[in-house]
C-alpha cells in the first residue's frame, strides 16, 4: 500500500496547524480547511491540492497586502483577515463537495474535477478583485447601475480589481491544465471564474446590501456559479 496519501494528509494537517500559528485561520477554520483539503485531494488529486493551495496563498497575500491602508479606510477584516470556518466553507465548500463526489462516483471524475476548478477560479477571482481592488482601484462603480459608488461597499467594482480577479482565475486554469489536456477547458475555467465573480458582485449590490443574505452565502453562491458554468460548458460541448 502506498504511503503517499498518508504523507499528503500529514502535510495538510501541518499546513492547517501552521495557518493557525501564522494567524491566517482560526482553529475551527483550520480544522475545516483540513477536511476541505482531504476531500479536494481524494477527488482532485495533486492538481486539486495545487489549485486549493494557490487560492489560499494568493488569497492570504491579497488580504494582507495594504493592510495598514485598509485599516485606515475601515475595510480591514475582523481579526486582521484571519479566516473563520464559515469563510473556509464559503470559499472551499464546493471544491470539497465536488471532490467527495468525484471519489464516490469515479465515472464522473473529469466533469467534477472541472467543476472543482471552476469553483476555485471563482473564489480566487472574487478574493483578489475585492482585496486588491480596494487598495489599487481608482474609480469605483456599482455593478448594477454602473454609476460611481463608494469604495468597499457590497457590489462595488473597479477596473483594477476586476482585472486582478480575472488574472487569478487564469492562474487556477493554468494549474488545472498542467495535468489535464491543454484545450478549451482552460478558457472555460477562466470564464467560470470571471462569471462567478460578477455574480458575487451582483448579489452583493442587491441581496447582501439589503441584508437578505450575508457575505459567506454570497461567496458560496459565487463558487457554486463557477462550478455550474463549467458543468454547462462541458455538457454543451460534449
Burial category of 62 from C-beta neighbours within 10 Å (exposed 0-12, middle 13-18, buried 19 and up) = buried
**Confidence at residue 62, expressed as pLDDT on a 0 to 100 scale:** 86
Determine the pLDDT at residue 81: 58
Low-confidence ranges of the chain (pLDDT < 70): 1-2, 66-81
Model pLDDT, residue 74: 61
In this prediction, residue 50 carries a pLDDT of 96
pLDDT at 69: 63
* Residue 60: per-residue pLDDT: 83
**Strand partners of residue 83:** 25
Report pLDDT for 132. 92
How many domains does the chain fold into?
A: 1
Per-residue pLDDT at 95: 98
Q: What pLDDT, on a 0 to 100 scale, did the predictor assign at position 126?
A: 96
Task: Enumerate the H helices of the chain as residue ranges.
Answer: 4-21, 27-64, 67-73, 85-104, 109-136, 159-179, 184-203, 215-236
User: 64-89 burial string, b = 16+ CB within 10 Å, else e?
Assistant: eebbeebeeeebbbeeebbbbbbbbb
CA pair distance 117, 223, nearest whole angstrom: 10
The parent domain of residue 105 ranges over 4-236
Amino acid at each position: 500500500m502506498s504511503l503517499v496519501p498518508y504523507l499528503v494528509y500529514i502535510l495538510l494537517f501541518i499546513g492547517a496547524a501552521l495557518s493557525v500559528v501564522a494567524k491566517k485561520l482560526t482553529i475551527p477554520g483550520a480544522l475545516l480547511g483540513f477536511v476541505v483539503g482531504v476531500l479536494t485531494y481524494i477527488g482532485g488529486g495533486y492538481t486539486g491540492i495545487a489549485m486549493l493551495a494557490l487560492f489560499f496563498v494568493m488569497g492570504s497575500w491579497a488580504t494582507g497586502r495594504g493592510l495598514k491602508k485598509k485599516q485606515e479606510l475601515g475595510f480591514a477584516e475582523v481579526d486582521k483577515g484571519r479566516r473563520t470556518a464559515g469563510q473556509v466553507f464559503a470559499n472551499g465548500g464546493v471544491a470539497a463537495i465536488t471532490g467527495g463526489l468525484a471519489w464516490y462516483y469515479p465515472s464522473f471524475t473529469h466533469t467534477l474535477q472541472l467543476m472543482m476548478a471552476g469553483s476555485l477560479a471563482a473564489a480566487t477571482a472574487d478574493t483578489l478583485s475585492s482585496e486588491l481592488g480596494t487598495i489599487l482601484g481608482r474609480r469605483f462603480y456599482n455593478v448594477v447601475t454602473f454609476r460611481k459608488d463608494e469604495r468597499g461597499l457590497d457590489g462595488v467594482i473597479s477596473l483594477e480589481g476586476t482585472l486582478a480577479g480575472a488574472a487569478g482565475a487564469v492562474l487556477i486554469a493554468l494549474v488545472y491544465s498542467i495535468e489535464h489536456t491543454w484545450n478549451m477547458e482552460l478558457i472555460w475555467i477562466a470564464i467560470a471564474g470571471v462569471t462567478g465573480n460578477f455574480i458575487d458582485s451582483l448579489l452583493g449590490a442587491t441581496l447582501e446590501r439589503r441584508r437578505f443574505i450575508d457575505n459567506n452565502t454570497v461567496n458560496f453562491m459565487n463558487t457554486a456559479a463557477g462550478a455550474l458554468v463549467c458543468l454547462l460548458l462541458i455538457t454543451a460541448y460534449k
